[in-house]
Amino acid sequence: MRIGLASAVALCLLARAWTPLSTPGPGKASETADRVPILVELFTSEGCSSCPPADAFLQKLDRQPLAGAEMIVLSEHVDYWNHIGWKDPYSARFYSDRQSAYANRFNLDSPYTPQMVVDGSSEFVGSDPELARKAFDRALAVQKVAVRMSAISVDAGNTLHAHVETGAVPSEADVVMAIALNHAESQVLRGENGGRTLTHTAVVRRMVKIGTARPGLAFAQDVQVKLEPGLTRDNLRMIAFVQEVRQGRVLGAAVERVLGN
């Protein structure tokens, strides 16, 4: 199921309404300490002709256009478009299943692309800036649980090591880690986007639950995640987030770049 695109006029109005921040992209604690983290998940596919505008919108969000917010973006490529001529190289059944769980939670008839989910609390067409702005305004008003990552390294065996800790959580929650590509690009040869060059940001290559946070308690754990072969360390980011069990509200999130050793 595909939904119509938002107008270019609306995108321009949104860009003028938002205040750019001085330093783009994920990274330094000094840049993000006073900003509210907002987790933005985009369910997309290179086989869907309606998705490139949403992919471009996610890239704008990754440049931190909203004053007071730290936009933590995830591009999750579903696999149910792969049968119409182009197999998305970044797609996996895992992201389709994750999106289906959201569809059930939001009482949708079915999953669709492009779909944006903000803090696990609201969903809308991923290329609609007006609905996005309303969702971001709501997310900015919610107090978040602190999430911190430290001691990030990649060993000779291509395993990522990190320490993840959170503040006390109000309800039982999953602690999740995602590894994503800062930038990805494809020459699409067939399907609805055949002949186009598509670019993406924060393309998730691995997402794993690393533990459970108990109500009223903080969480701290050393974690190891095996990276897939061929990934360039300088092109990776690590995202950790705390989400109420059964894929509920996102209570807090953080992002750090993975630097080469």
* Yes or no: domain 35-258 corresponds to CATH 2.60.40.10: yes
Return d(Cα 41, Cα 59) in angstroms, integer.
12
Single-letter amino acid, residue 45? S
Instruction: State the helix-helix crossing angle for 129-140 and 8-17, rounded to 10 degrees.
Output: 30
pLDDT given for residue 230 in this prediction: 87
pLDDT given for residue 13 in this prediction: 39
Give the E-state strand segments of the chain in sequence order. 36-44, 69-77, 115-118, 122-125, 147-154, 159-166, 173-187, 197-213, 219-226, 236-244, 250-258
Q: Do the Cβ atoms of 184 and 204 come closer than 8 Å?
A: no
Q: Do the Cβ atoms of 154 and 258 come closer than 8 Å?
A: yes
| Residue 158 φ/ψ region, left for φ over 0, alpha for ψ in the -120 to 50 degree band, beta for the rest | left
Sign (positive or negative) of CA dihedral 85, 115, 117, 198: positive
Whether pTM > 0.85 for this model: the answer is yes
Per-residue tokens: 48: 């869907």
Please count the CA atoms within 13 angstroms of the CA of 217 that sit on its side-chain side.
Answer: 11
- Between the alpha carbon of residue 127 and those of residues 16, 115, 176, the distances in Å are 17, 8, 26
> Please, which residues bridge with residue 70 across strands?
37
Q: Do the Cβ atoms of 172 and 213 come closer than 8 Å?
A: yes
Average pLDDT (219-238) is 94
pLDDT digits (tens, 9 = 90+) for 22-81: 334 555 544 556 899 999 999 999 999 999 999 999 999 999 999 999 999 999 999 999
Per-residue tokens: 62: 């990754």
Q: Do the Cβ atoms of 147 and 242 come closer than 8 Å?
A: yes
Per-residue tokens: 73: 């973006």
Q: What are phi and psi of 199, to 5 degrees?
A: -120, 150
pLDDT digits (tens, 9 = 90+) for 124-178: 999 999 999 999 999 999 999 999 999 999 998 899 999 999 999 999 999 999 9
Percent of the chain with pLDDT over 90: 83
